[in-house]
Amino acid sequence: MCHQVSQRVAWMAFSIAFFGSLVASQPIQGQIVVGDSGVGYIDSAVLGTQARVRFDAAYSSRFADRAEFFYAQYGVDGAPELERGIDNHQELATYLEWHRWENFSLFAEIPIRWIDPVANDNAGDLYDIQAGLKASLLESESTLLTAQLRGYFPTGDASKSLSTDHVSLEPGLLSLHRPNHSLTIESELRYWIPIGGSLAPPVGGTNERRNFSGEVLRYGLGAGYKVHEGSRFDVTPVAEIVGWHVFSGVRSDSTGQRNSAVNDAIVNFKIGSRFSIKSNCYDGVSPTSLYVGYGTVLTESNWYSDILRIELRRSF
């Protein structure tokens, strides 16, 4: 079963990448700007002053404290009761990016999250704030390569499952390639490194304790194709594959067992559309866009089974 899923994921990723080589080339005009990025889940390689409001609704999370990537360890630093799962959570996040320097930008993201766990009480409040920087490594009319460093800061209440309760750093590489005017291919490679975190209880009658938090690789590939280009708005369907691989850490279950999360692999398929609204003041560039998308898990392991996302973005 796992082998079949892996093959399917590989073929989907290959198809998205290969699609670009089959589309007839068209002239590319002008510098790549925020409005050229269509993805809804992959971090964009484009540097630009922008504001974004994003709403997520995700469902059926299992082992939600895995590697303390989303939540602190249940029964220790996190929520008091060992958890069978989170039925659903919603999040409203505001993202601001300031492109003050030519090859450098700063950003921050402030999320508010509401959760509906099975065993613990429902909760809603500020989740962990994120902030970081992006630096352009390569830029041309058709290609961007950007380095990103994102920090996660424990500003939420871990006892209510609204925080990981530790700082994390996530260096990454982001890319955007525009082979023609209509097609854009984007990718990300990010490595999440926890600093601190809790310890798992001893197992097997020994005093040995393991780090509960663990390092996680995130990767993604997405493609958007502009199917409609009008005088007032554009429509760009987008398909993305996003995956995570856990290299260390532990996860807990409702029986009190703390099991290794090493080599847990999660892959999601995301599909959506970006609707870009043009303004006469911006010479055909779309400073405002609305993204609507849906994602589902392709693997047995998950962070959530399904997710709905709505995003409003404005560049300046």
Percent of the chain at pLDDT > 90 equals: 77
Cβ atoms of 298 and 5 closer than 8 Å: yes
- Average pLDDT on 35-50 reads 96
Residue 182 CA to residue 180 CA, distance in Å, equals: 6
Residue 134 CA to residue 151 CA, distance in Å, equals: 12
pLDDT score, position 208: 76
- Answer whether residue 21 shows pLDDT above 50: no
- Answer whether residue 82 shows pLDDT above 70: yes
23 pLDDT band (50/70/90 cuts)? very low
156-170, 274-288, 300-314 — which is least confidently predicted?
Answer: 274-288
202 pLDDT band (50/70/90 cuts)? confident
By CB atoms closer than 10 A (0-12, 13-18, 19+), residue 246 is: buried
280 pLDDT band (50/70/90 cuts)? low
- Answer whether residue 12 shows pLDDT above 70: no
pLDDT score, position 31: 84
H-assigned helices in 25-165: none
Running DSSP on this structure, what letter comes out for residue 160?
A: G
Coil, helix or strand for 254? coil
What does the CA dihedral 304, 10, 251, 88 come to, rounded to 10 degrees? Answer: 0
- Answer whether residue 263 shows pLDDT above 50: yes
In 10 A of CB 50, how many CB atoms?
Answer: 23
What does the CA dihedral 29, 32, 36, 37 come to, rounded to 10 degrees? Answer: 150
Residue 170 CA to residue 152 CA, distance in Å, equals: 8
pLDDT score, position 253: 84
274 CB-near residues (< 8 Å, 6+ apart):
38, 40, 224, 235, 236, 238, 289, 290, 291
pLDDT score, position 20: 40
- Average pLDDT on 198-225 reads 88
- For residue 300 the two structure tokens come to 């047995």
pLDDT score, position 205: 59
Rounded to whole angstroms, what are the CA distances from 312 to 84, 151, 291? 34, 23, 7
255 pLDDT band (50/70/90 cuts)? confident
pLDDT score, position 167: 98
Amino acid, single-letter form, for residue 204: G
Cβ atoms of 192 and 201 closer than 8 Å: no
pLDDT score, position 24: 36
Residue 51 CA to residue 190 CA, distance in Å, equals: 22
- Answer whether residue 13 shows pLDDT above 50: no
- Average pLDDT on 185-200 reads 96
pLDDT score, position 125: 98
- For residue 173 the two structure tokens come to 């590489």
